[in-house]
Chains A and B, each alone.
Chain A
Amino acid sequence: MTAKKKKIGWHHALGIIAFLLPFTVFYILFTIWPVIQGFYVSLYKWGLMGKIKFVGTANYTRFLKDKFFWQSLGNTATFVAVSVPLLVILALVLALLANRTSKLKRFYRASFYLPNILSVSVISFITIYMASPYMGFINGLLHTLKVIPANVEPQWLSNSNLTWVTIAVATVWWTVGFSMLLYISALQDIPDQLYEAAKIDGASKSRQLFRITIPLLAPTTSLVLLLQMIASFKVFGQIFLITRGGPGTLTRPLIQYIYETAFTKNDLGYASAMSYALFLILVVLSVIQIRLQNRGAKE
């Protein structure tokens, strides 16, 4: 920095405050304050009309014994376990396919990323209509192609195992493009000389892939892995819209349980306490992610 050491006059100071003020106000009000407010609310029995009574840590001890809390946390964890590996592996595969020298390169990249710009409501209803029995596209196609007999109707939206398949496939289709782009930009940073040298040494394509590409992508893989874990722990929209958390509550994710506790059961205090459990998980993951990135940036 070579900026002149100027004495800060009141005029100058006012200018700086004017630049910073709008962001600071909105940031404090809608990002920082809710974190503090949430803790305060979690210590009360709190309804939509406001504070009812102080209950101390009762809301926290309550969710530790609440089987629906653990079920919804378990469902969220199931979703993370099913979707994250699929998303990471497929993102890499798609990036490798879309980054080859090909006339269709841009078409591939654009097609793989396109679902990402659709809203969660849109992708959820496309999924419902494609997957619904009797009239849906998927069963219709399976019947037309005679993959399954005409009297068999897989229940993609109500069989508890198949619903996870449906949700996972829909999520992968919708979001994998983002991680694919992260991989593509990392692939473009790998110097061509490495491959040329490997070729001179007679290394096959697959050997180049496993010995050069994948090891050099390791920082990106850990980044994608963490970003996907964070995103998957926040899952709400597509499950809420595709299955409503059903059958029963078998696919209900944590955010949906928090949402229902707050806004249909009118128990905002308890919902805030449960939010802190999610908050904790996500903060830990974010801190790991930022540390990984800083390490990656320094290398």
Chain B
Amino acid sequence: MNRKITPGKIVLEIVSVCIAVLFLTPVIWSLAVSLKTEGVPIHNAFNWFTPPFTLENYPKILLETKVPFWLFNSFFVAILSTVLVLFISSMAAYPLAKLNFPGKNILYLFFLIGMIVPGEATIVPLFITANGLNMIDSYAGLIMPTIAGSMNLIIMVAFFKSIPNEMIEAAQIDGANNFSIYFRIILPLSKTVLVTVGIFAFIGSWNNYLWPLLCTTSDTMFTLPVGIPTFAGTYTVDYVKPMTANMVASIPAIIIYLIFEKRIVKGVALSGIKG
């Protein structure tokens, strides 16, 4: 490896830092705005980033608006759908990867169809279906349509196939049935893939916009992505409150990202390769 410091390398380093700063600026600016006192005019663009800062907007947002409802709904929906995604996809993946039964290949192909069905293009009939099931404006309506994704199933089937058959056979000889094999062998050995799929399910649900927009009608059922635009629309003059709401919506996702950054990087590669 060539470790010499050349002018070319320094230029590339500077360019990279500049682009990274450019990418972070909108987020840092939003954070800075949320720390400003409402109604104080800013004349020089750099003054956004300099004190005085205050935390007073955060309690205001949390106490005087519907944001706590949306925060709760977003968390509740994201956590529940993540748990359900992990359970029902891993359950279905186990027999598809490790057991023999008639019609297995046809069933798997049938589950693959979902890869090419664009959810955005079936949103109108999905609404009619959910409406027919009386699910509009309910948690069931927000959660249930999002939990059976082909992608998650495919990733899990591929991973479960890599678990050695000998482990399962040994357990079978010891008299273990499929349920105990699933709970005692498959799930514990699949922590990495479960975490990866889980992170994407959580962030996907946390940021989902189109379906919650259609599925919720009362403002106490909104999730953050649906609520924030309605809220910001009433504050066109001052940015401080909407930006604080923006930060409230983003901080949980940013924290999860910073904790699981490496997993997310690997997960993207996995999902990209698998489609």
Give A residues with C-beta under 8 Å from B.
Answer: 1-5, 8, 12-13, 15-16, 19-20, 22-27, 29-35, 37-38, 41, 46, 48, 94, 97-98, 100-102, 104, 106-115, 117-130, 135, 137, 140-141, 143-145, 173, 178, 181-182, 184-185, 205, 223, 227, 230, 234, 236-237, 241, 255, 258-259, 262-263, 268, 271-272, 275-276, 278-279, 282-283, 286-287, 289-290, 293, 297
Contact = CB atoms under 8 A, between A and B. Distances in A.
A145 B232 CA distance: 29
A109 B129 contact: no
Nearest to A179: B272
A95 to B, nearest CB: 11
Interface in B93-124: 94-96, 98-101, 107, 111, 113-124
A252 to B, nearest CB: 15
Given A15-B177, A20-B95, A114-B24, A122 B228 contact: yes
A223 to B, nearest CB: 7
A26 B147 CA distance: 7
B275 A293 contact: yes
Given A22-B91, A289-B275, A115 B27 contact: yes
Contacts of A97: 12, 15-16, 19
A100 B256 CA distance: 26
Given A41-B128, A121-B209, A114 B23 contact: yes
A3 B165 contact: yes
A3 B107 CA distance: 20
B165 A140 contact: no
Contacts, number: 284
Interface of B: 1, 8, 12-13, 15-17, 19-21, 23-24, 26-27, 29-30, 33, 42, 44-46, 48, 87-89, 91-92, 94-96, 98-101, 107, 111, 113-129, 131, 144-148, 150, 153, 165, 169, 177-179, 182, 203, 206-207, 209-210, 214, 224-226, 228-229, 232, 239, 242-243, 246, 249-250, 253-254, 256-258, 261, 264-265, 268-269, 272-275
A37 B117 CA distance: 14
A272 B44 contact: no
B99 to A, nearest CB: 6
Contacts of B91: 19-20, 22-23
B16 A108 contact: yes
Given A129-B242, A130-B26, A23 B92 contact: yes
Contacts of A135: 239
B229 A125 contact: yes
B210 A236 contact: yes
Contact of A227 (B99, B207, B272): B272
A179 B114 CA distance: 22
Instruction: Please give me the 9 A-B residue pairs with the lowest Cβ-Cβ distance, nearest first.
Output: A23-B92, A185-B269, A26-B148, A119-B207, A38-B125, A111-B20, A286-B116, A34-B125, A279-B121
B249 A34 contact: no
Given A120-B207, A263-B214, A126 B229 contact: no
Contacts of B203: 117
A283 B118 contact: yes
A98 B8 CA distance: 15
B229 A121 contact: yes
B137 to A, nearest CB: 14
A121 B16 contact: no
Given A22-B92, A185-B269, A122 B246 contact: yes
A127 B232 CA distance: 13
B201 to A, nearest CB: 13
Nearest to B1: A101
Contacts of A3: 98-100, 165, 169
B100 A278 contact: no
